[in-house]
């Protein structure tokens, strides 16, 4: 029996790269390779300097993939509350990762049976025989934790100055997105040690929590910073329709649940309609919903035809959407790619060589690499 278990473990951990599949898009033919399978609901991914992949699984595991080999789960994570949409979520490298080895990750933290989004940092240690995390430290944990299992956010974007933007959904209680004394329904920003950046919009304001960057967000699960302009973009789930791309700016309110281009799941109207004074309009919205996952601003060298475009994964509609922007950054159209071919797509990242990395949000999830034919 022990020998059988060992053989099964080896089979799970060593997964060969599958043959590439070819596809056509409006501007360029592409190829899609499966890097590895056997991941359980993968959520976040980063490519390490030596070409390995660091990936999270929502049930509470972080792994490394190198040369098609999926490592055992890394030790050193804090206790993680797994349930509903909660668990181990995003991962990001620090701005000085090459020197420090520091990573950040988001997860659902528990307190007396109640959960909320938290951000931690740790050092990734790798040697010839093993990889693990050390000195893990939670640098942010949201207030007002609840027993609800939805809308944790929680994508991380590391800015050039080393500060961290991250998202938290409304936790299934929509009115919280309008409460400036609540971390829910917001984009937030902290420094690498968890301290408050001096230029945050509410850094010295007793009327609002100092970590808040923007409010009025339903459940942003995709976020990226345009490395050419420094502009922050986020994509969030609507209800029945009303998925939005926003450009979160300091101190601004993006409307949920006062305004929305969607409707409640019951069909009832949301708030006062699609616009109202004091609330920002989305850059783009989908109705009906596509259930957006991750977002990447494309600035790679492999697909110059897509330069500056926004790439958004779709969970329900199982596709990668290219949001076409002109030279001024104005959205002029969309293209749906890979529709229905790979299941639920959770995340998209631009690799250093300009290829794309995709995660499939499945019980037997995969890392996919999209390159030019």
Residues annotated as catalytic (active site), given as ranges: 151
Q: Give 2: exposed, middle or buried? Use CB within 10 Å, 0-12, 13-18, 19+.
A: exposed
**Would you state the structure tokens that stand for residue 96, as one six-digit string?**
């000085």
Q: Which residue has the tokens 């500056």?
A: 308
CA–CA separation, 186 vs 214, rounded Å?
6
CA distances from 354 to 28, 76, 195, 297, 298 (A): 14, 32, 33, 12, 8
Q: Give 42: exposed, middle or buried? Use CB within 10 Å, 0-12, 13-18, 19+.
A: buried
Q: What is the DSSP letter of 329?
A: S
Q: Which helix (H) or strand (E) holds 370?
A: strand 365-372
CA–CA separation, 198 vs 212, rounded Å?
12
CA torsion, ordered 357, 351, 335, 153, to nearest 10 deg: 60
């Amino acid at each position: 029996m022990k020998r059988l278990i060992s053989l099964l473990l080896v089979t799970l951990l060593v997964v060969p790269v599958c043959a590439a599949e070819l596809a056509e898009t409006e501007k360029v033919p592409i190829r899609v390779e499966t890097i590895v399978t056997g991941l359980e609901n993968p959520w976040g991914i980063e490519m390490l300097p030596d070409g390995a992949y660091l990936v999270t699984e929502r049930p509470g595991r972080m792994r490394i993939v190198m040369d098609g080999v999926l490592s055992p789960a890394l030790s050193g994570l804090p206790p993680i509350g797994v349930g509903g949409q909660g668990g181990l979520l995003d991962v990001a490298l620090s701005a000085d990762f090459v020197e420090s080895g520091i990573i950040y990750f988001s997860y659902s933290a528990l307190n007396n049976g109640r959960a909320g989004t938290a951000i931690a940092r740790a050092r990734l240690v790798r040697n010839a025989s093993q990889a693990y995390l050390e000195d893990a430290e939670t640098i942010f944990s949201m207030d007002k934790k609840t027993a609800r299992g939805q809308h944790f956010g929680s994508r991380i974007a590391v800015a050039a100055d080393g500060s961290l933007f991250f998202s938290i959904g409304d936790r299934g209680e929509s009115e919280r997105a309008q409460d400036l004394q609540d971390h829910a329904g917001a984009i937030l920003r902290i420094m690498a040690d968890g301290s408050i950046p001096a230029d945050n919009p509410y850094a010295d304001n007793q009327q609002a929590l100092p970590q808040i960057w923007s409010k009025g967000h339903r459940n942003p699960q995709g976020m990226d910073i345009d490395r050419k302009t420094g502009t922050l973009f986020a994509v969030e789930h609507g209800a029945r329709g009303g998925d939005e791309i926003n450009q979160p700016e300091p101190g601004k309110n993006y409307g949920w649940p006062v305004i929305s281009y969607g409707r409640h799941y019951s069909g009832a109207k949301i708030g006062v309609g699609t616009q109202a004074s004091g609330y920002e309009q989305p850059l783009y919205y989908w109705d009906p919903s596509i259930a957006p996952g991750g977002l990447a601003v494309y600035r790679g060298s492999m697909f110059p035809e897509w330069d500056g475009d926004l790439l958004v994964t779709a969970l329900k509609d199982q596709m990668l959407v290219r949001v076409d922007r002109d030279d001024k950054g104005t959205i002029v159209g969309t293209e749906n790619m890979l529709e229905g071919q790979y299941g639920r797509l959770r995340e998209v990242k631009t690799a250093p060589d300009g290829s794309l990395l995709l995660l499939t949000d499945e019980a037997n999830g995969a890392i996919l690499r999209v390159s030019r034919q």
